[in-house]
Amino acid sequence: MNAKFFDLKKEKQDRMINGALKVFAMQGYRHASTDEIVKEADISKGLLFHYFGSKIGLYTFIYDYSVKFVTLELRACVDPLTSDLFDLMKQMEQAKMHVMKAYPYMQQFLNRAMQETVSEALLAVEEKRAIWMEAWENWYQQVDLSLLPYGVDGIKLRKMLELTIKGLMSERLEDHSFQPEMLYAEICDYLDMMKRIVYR
């Protein structure tokens, strides 16, 4: 990546980042085309290749940028003393909401990247992906699953909640009804409902 990318005006940087995030998030690496990305970003193809060199160069940059950006928001929103699973997930979703105000497709891109099958893309971000997965799991290490009622499998509960959240996000992005604050409120409603069910 050409370091001079960060010399561009922030508005232009964000247009390029958001254009790439949207296309990679919705289509995956294999089917994402640079033609669609430059159309979304409203830039020339020459400009994209000037700064990133290739499609894989862009993908690698976008992945690295996303991991760093989301991590910073998580550090700002998550209380390291939170031990309740539901409370922790609410704080994590609050961090994602802040991210999506600037970059609506960033979390969806990271979710999609976890399911990526194209070897070129996997190899390009392999190291960063391992770091991201470890960091994500570290947030959950502070949860005390023994606080859950007897018979409730904390691992399965967390997976069920994460799948629900991912499904809600995908649904809102695909039906073009996406608003970060509304999505966050909807997710909190689901978390609160499940907490009442679990602890009743």
Domains within the chain, CATH numbers bracketed: 3-199 (1.10.357.10)
Residue 148 in contact with residue 85, Cβ under 8 Å?
Answer: yes
What distance in Å separates the CA atoms of residue 171 and residue 140, rounded to the nearest whole number?
Answer: 25
**Residue from 62, 6, 9, 4 nearest 32 by CA:** 62
Does the pTM exceed 0.85?
yes
pLDDT of residue 4: 83
**Residue from 91, 69, 198 nearest 142 by CA:** 91
pLDDT tens, per residue, the chain with 200 residues:
667 888 889 999 999 999 999 999 999 999 999 999 999 999 988 988 999 999 999 999 999 999 999 999 999 999 999 999 999 999 999 999 999 999 999 999 999 999 899 999 999 999 988 888 888 899 999 999 999 999 999 999 999 999 999 999 888 888 777 799 999 999 999 999 999 999 98
Residue 147 in contact with residue 84, Cβ under 8 Å?
Answer: yes
Q: Is 110 exposed, middle or buried (0-12, 13-18, 19+ CB in 10 A)?
A: buried
